[in-house]
Amino acid sequence: MSLYQFALLWLVGTNLLAIILTVSDKVRAKKGKWRVPEDTLLFVALLGGAVGEYITMRLIRHKTRHKKFMITLPVFILLQAALALVLRSEEHTSE
pLDDT of residue 40: 97
**Torsion over CA: 90, 55, 21, 73 (sign):** positive
pLDDT in tens, 15-72: 999 999 999 999 999 999 999 999 999 999 999 999 999 999 999 999 889 999 999 9
Q: How many CA atoms lie within 13 A of 75 on its CB side?
A: 8
For 58-80, give one letter per residue: b (16+ CB within 10 A) or e: eeeebbeeeeebeebbeebbeeb
Q: What angle do CA 54, 55, 61 make, to 5 degrees?
A: 85
